[in-house]
């Protein structure tokens, strides 16, 4: 028998209320119900989306029962992790627990505010009001990074609040029943810095985790760039301190064969609902083994190269580097001067590294300071123009030196003829092709944490990649490493030949 119009309306209302119940009780359904990105970016859940959302549902239930939750989640880039956590979780949590506080953070305040602004728009949407009709935002909640919840009937504030902040911006004074950390470290370069890792960890343990309510949910969702980043340090602390919070780890590597959870991926890769296999294959190709280990495999490689450890490298802003008179600075040049070197399919670079060594009283291992690296793959005339510009920019307090070895025995003579206006020293490299032996004195400097100091710059990534790949066998470019080994010889007490012209120039400088 056909339904009457009134019965059909009643049935539709019942079905709509059932959908709303599902949306309130399931984070996956909440995202689907309130999705705001439209047809151009539809809601596409994957295996990881469903698994993470189901775990969030359990965390909500445990919270109601007075039990705290600690989760750290690692999933590959562009997988929708920020939608799950930073955009859709705050409004869902506040809808269910309007008297509670949310503390959301990322590595940068501006980025956090973009996420919390999106979350605020969800809160104000018609779909959200259908789920939680009794809630609204106070008139003072126009700030992207701070909102207060009110009861729509009484217009009085509840205890519910959201604070959004960058980790480095200060979070003192705010509190959290739900604490969300979405990528506490900005990327690979920052993660390689011991100073950055220490700073992030201090902020998380001393500021963030001290703001927890008696019962709480803490979720860290981030790319694991480094084995010693917050993910790694949490695991380490749990092993040595029985009172440290017991975090559950959810890890979703790109390749199905690398997944260690209970369920199974539906295909060869994690998110085939959105990306084709060719996308994954090209990403592995673009990133290389080292980058893919962190971004795709969710298991960072040990941050050390074949020869040099890079865990202890400290990155500095230009204003924090020692001045011209605090350290003996030198620019060490390695010239791709031979026809063979310049005509290969992947020609060698001419590189010049501005560096210095510092001896600290009581420390047998010197500190290495690197201001910048200049690299060019150009013909002799263009290359020489670049070198002239760099020497001029370095100024009179920076000594200029060229490596002179069996492989590049004419380099010093060439540069002196080409640039007679400059005082240029020669670094004598003994032996043929034994780059591994030459690098030996640098190994303990790299091994000692905090003894290699690098000025932040766009050149950092290429420099770091060469340091990692260097094996002394000449399989990849090693001009920047050659700069370091020659610099150690030149400034660190090795064999050094200085022309009479240079000695006179140095004496003149000292007399000024």
234-287 per-position pLDDT tens digit: 988 888 888 999 999 999 999 999 898 878 898 999 999 999 999 999 998 878
pLDDT at 367: 92
What value does the mean pLDDT take over residues 330-349?
Answer: 64
> What's the CA gap between 353 and 372, in Å, rounded?
6
Q: In whole angstroms, how far apart are CA 62 and each of 68, 95, 217, 261, 363?
A: 7, 16, 9, 21, 52
Mean pLDDT of the chain: 84
pLDDT at 3: 66
371-427 per-position pLDDT tens digit: 999 999 888 888 999 999 999 999 988 999 998 766 666 788 888 888 988 888 888
> What's the CA gap between 172 and 122, in Å, rounded?
27
pLDDT at 372: 95
pTM of the model: 0.63
> What's the CA gap between 64 and 73, in Å, rounded?
22
174-209 per-position pLDDT tens digit: 678 999 999 998 887 788 777 888 899 998 988 888
Q: What percent of the chain has pLDDT over 90?
A: 40
Pick left, alpha or beta for residue 51 (phi over 0 → left; psi -120 to 50 → alpha; otherwise beta).
alpha
Confidence of residue 127 (pLDDT cuts 50, 70, 90): very high
Helix (H) or strand (E) holding 467: helix 460-469
Pairing relation of β-strands 146-151 and 135-137? antiparallel
What value does the mean pLDDT take over residues 158-180?
Answer: 81
Q: Which phi and psi angles does 5 have, rounded to 5°?
A: -60, -40
Domains of the chain: 45-295 (3.40.50), 314-511 (3.30.420.280)
> What's the CA gap between 114 and 224, in Å, rounded?
22
Q: Is the pLDDT of residue 341 over 50?
A: no
């Amino acid at each position: 028998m056909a339904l009457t119009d009134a019965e059909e309306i009643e049935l539709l209302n019942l079905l709509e209320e059932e959908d709303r119940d599902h949306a309130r009780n399931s984070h996956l359904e909440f995202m689907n119900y309130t999705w705001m990105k439209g047809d151009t970016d539809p809601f596409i859940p994957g295996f990881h989306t469903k698994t993470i959302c189901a775990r969030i549902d359990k965390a909500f239930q445990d919270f109601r029962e007075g039990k705290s939750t600690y989760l750290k989640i690692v999933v590959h880039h562009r997988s929708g992790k920020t939608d799950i956590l930073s955009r859709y979780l705050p409004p869902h949590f506040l809808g269910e627990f309007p008297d509670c506080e949310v503390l959301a953070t990322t590595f940068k305040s501006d980025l956090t505010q973009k996420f919390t602004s999106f979350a605020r728009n969800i809160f104000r949407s018609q779909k959200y009001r259908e789920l939680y009709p009794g809630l609204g935002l106070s008139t003072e909640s126009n700030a992207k990074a701070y909102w207060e919840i009110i009861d729509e009937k009484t217009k009085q504030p509840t205890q519910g609040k959201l604070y959004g902040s960058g980790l480095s911006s200060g979070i003192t004074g705010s509190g959290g029943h739900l604490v969300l950390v979405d990528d506490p470290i900005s990327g690979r370069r920052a993660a390689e810095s011991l100073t950055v890792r220490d700073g992030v960890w201090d902020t998380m343990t001393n500021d963030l985790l001290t703001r927890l309510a008696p019962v709480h949910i803490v979720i860290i969702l981030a790319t694991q760039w480094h084995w010693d980043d917050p993910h790694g340090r949490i695991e380490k602390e749990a092993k040595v301190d029985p009172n440290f919070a017991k975090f559950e780890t959810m890890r979703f590597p790109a390749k199905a064969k690398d997944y260690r959870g209970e369920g199974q991926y539906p295909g060869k890769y994690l998110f085939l609902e959105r990306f084709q296999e060719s996308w994954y294959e090209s990403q592995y190709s673009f990133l290389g083994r080292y980058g893919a280990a962190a971004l795709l495999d969710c298991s960072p490689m040990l941050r050390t190269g074949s020869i040099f450890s890079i865990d202890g490298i400290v990155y500095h802003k230009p204003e924090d580097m020692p001045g011209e008179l605090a350290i003996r600075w030198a620019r060490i040049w390695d010239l791709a001067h031979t026809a063979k070197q310049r005509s290969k399919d992947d020609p060698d670079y001419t590189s010049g590294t501005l560096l210095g060594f510092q001896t600290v009283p009581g420390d047998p291992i010197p500190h290495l300071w690197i201001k910048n690296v200049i690299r060019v793959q150009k013909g002799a005339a263009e290359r020489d123009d670049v070198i002239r510009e760099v020497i001029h920019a370095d100024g009179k307090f920076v000594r200029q030196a060229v490596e002179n070895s069996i492989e590049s025995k004419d380099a010093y003579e060439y540069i002196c003829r080409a640039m007679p206006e400059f005082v240029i020293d020669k670094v004598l490299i003994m032996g043929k092709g034994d780059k591994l032996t030459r690098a030996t004195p640098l190994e303990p400097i790299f091994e000692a944490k905090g003894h290699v100091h690098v000025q932040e710059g766009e050149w950092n990534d290429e420099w770091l990649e060469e340091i990692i790949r260097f094996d002394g066998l000449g399989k990849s470019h090693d001009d920047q490493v050659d700069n370091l080994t020659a610099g150690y010889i030149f400034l660190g007490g090795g064999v050094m030949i200085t022309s009479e012209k240079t000695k006179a120039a140095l004496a003149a400088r000292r007399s000024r």
